[in-house]
């Protein structure tokens, strides 16, 4: 084997460039002791004196030297208390995620109540600080499943909502600033508790399924006589029939599926033509006009029939 060529002696080398962040990192990791005595003088007359003794280092370095441990722990504990002073955390309950959110309150009309959505290691809840109210909460053990549900809000913009089903079958619809972030976190926490969430939604048509939506005129009852007004109507399995004008704050028509008794066509003058869709309710009938009257009528009939079928199924047990 030929003689190996002797290598030059090893010389210490340096990365060609040292940047300011590198310098700071080294200083903070090692720790810096500064002794500074400074006099600022004008015409040789001292005017300002500075006498400074400083130890500056990253907290980890401080802790290594046994300094500031108590202060560090107190500061971190103080923050926990000041958050929980207003938000009702239980003792030892730990926050996993927090973001803006809302809860959908159904009933007389559908409204989204805004608050802050908190996921802890024990619960998922929506809390509002001012005025102080717990808008919705559920312990993680009670959540059967949580799903993202795309939704066309009344304003027309698409949002991903969170549908939560609890172990007693009750449901809630929540919204979140970052639903894609919240969903896996909730699932993770539930798994951690040994109660992984099912991935299937309860069936039998309790889903949102929008049957029909579009621009529809509503013959709105007024003191001086009914008036045809334009707006957006939506027919879906859960909320029933809603109609809202963009000029109004709330939907003028909000008929739950149970409140729709029937539907028929009438002849009459309307912006949609010569036929008016009349929706029978427990109270006054609702008159609507739309270009595709027949399609809307059929959709409402479908809704009534599927509900009747579901009731028969339930009754049969």
Partner 1 sequence: MALSVDENSLKHGVLSLVVTLVEVIQEALETQALRRMEGGELTEAELNRLGEALLELDEAMEQIKADHGITASVEDLRRGLDDVVDDVVDKLINPARWAEEAGEERS
Residues in the site for partner 1, rule: CB under 8 A? 14, 17-25, 28-29, 58-60, 63, 76, 94-97
* Beta-sheet strand order (sheet of 260-270): 253-255, 240-244, 227-236, 210-220, 286-289, 273-281, 260-270
Query: What is the smallest separation between the CB atom of 23 and partner 1, expressed in angstroms?
Result: 5
Query: What is the smallest separation between the CB atom of 72 and partner 1, expressed in angstroms?
Result: 9
CA 146-306-213 angle, to 5 degrees, is 70
Nearer to partner 1, 27 or 304 (CB): 27
Nearer to partner 1, 6 or 21 (CB): 21
* 8 A C-beta contact, residue 138 and residue 62: no
The Cα–Cα gap between 256 and 107 comes to 8
Query: What is the smallest separation between the CB atom of 63 and partner 1, expressed in angstroms?
Result: 8
Query: What is the smallest separation between the CB atom of 84 and partner 1, expressed in angstroms?
Result: 11
Chain centroid to CA 29: how far?
40
The Cα–Cα gap between 39 and 218 comes to 83
Q: What is the CA radius of gyration of the chain?
A: 33
Q: Beta-strand (E) ranges in the chain? A: 32-42, 45-56, 95-105, 111-120, 123-128, 133-139, 143-152, 158-166, 171-176, 210-220, 227-236, 240-244, 253-255, 260-270, 273-281, 286-289
Query: What is the smallest separation between the CB atom of 58 and partner 1, expressed in angstroms?
Result: 4
Query: What is the smallest separation between the CB atom of 112 and partner 1, expressed in angstroms?
Result: 24
Nearer to partner 1, 20 or 50 (CB): 20
Question: Coil, strand or helix: which one is 99?
Answer: strand
Query: What is the smallest separation between the CB atom of 119 and partner 1, expressed in angstroms?
Result: 10
Nearer to partner 1, 117 or 253 (CB): 117
Nearer to partner 1, 185 or 304 (CB): 185
Query: What is the smallest separation between the CB atom of 164 and partner 1, expressed in angstroms?
Result: 22
* 8 A C-beta contact, residue 286 and residue 253: yes
Nearer to partner 1, 22 or 167 (CB): 22
The Cα–Cα gap between 253 and 39 comes to 79
Nearer to partner 1, 121 or 133 (CB): 121
Residue with tokens 């957006």: 232
Question: Coil, strand or helix: which one is 58?
Answer: coil
Nearer to partner 1, 69 or 215 (CB): 69
Nearer to partner 1, 56 or 309 (CB): 56
Query: What is the smallest separation between the CB atom of 32 and partner 1, expressed in angstroms?
Result: 12
* 8 A C-beta contact, residue 71 and residue 63: no
The Cα–Cα gap between 263 and 294 comes to 11
């Amino acid at each position: 084997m030929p003689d190996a060529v002797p290598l030059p002696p090893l010389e210490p080398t340096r990365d060609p460039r040292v940047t300011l962040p590198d310098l700071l990192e080294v200083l903070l990791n090692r720790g810096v002791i500064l002794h500074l005595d400074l006099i600022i003088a004008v015409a040789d007359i001292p005017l300002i004196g500075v006498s400074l003794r400083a130890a500056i280092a990253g907290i980890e370095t401080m802790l290594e030297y046994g300094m500031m441990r108590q202060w560090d722990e107190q500061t971190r504990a103080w923050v926990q208390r000041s958050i929980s002073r207003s938000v009702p955390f239980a003792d030892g309950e730990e926050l996993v995620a927090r973001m803006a959110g809302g809860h959908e309150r159904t009933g007389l009309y559908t409204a989204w109540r805004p608050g802050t959505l908190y996921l802890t290691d024990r619960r998922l809840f929506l809390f509002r600080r001012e005025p102080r109210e717990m808008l919705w909460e559920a312990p993680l053990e009670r959540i059967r499943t949580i799903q993202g549900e795309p939704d066309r809000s009344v304003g027309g913009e698409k949002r991903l909502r969170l549908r939560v089903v609890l172990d007693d079958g009750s449901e809630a619809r929540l919204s979140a600033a970052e639903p894609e972030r919240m969903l896996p976190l909730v699932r993770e926490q539930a798994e951690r508790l040994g109660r992984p969430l099912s991935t299937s939604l309860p069936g039998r048509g309790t889903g949102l399924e929008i049957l029909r939506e579009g621009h529809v005129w509503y013959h709105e009852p007024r003191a001086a006589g009914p008036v045809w007004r334009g707006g957006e109507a939506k027919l879906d399995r859960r909320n029933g029939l809603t109609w809202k004008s963009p000029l109004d704050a709330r939907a003028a028509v909000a008929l739950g599926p149970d409140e729709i008794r029937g539907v028929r066509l009438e002849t009459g003058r309307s912006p949609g033509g010569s036929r008016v869709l009349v929706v029978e309710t427990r109270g006054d009938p609702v008159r609507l006009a739309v270009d595709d009257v027949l399609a809307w009528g059929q959709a409402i009939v479908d809704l009534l029939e599927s509900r009747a079928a579901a009731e028969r199924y339930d009754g049969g047990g």
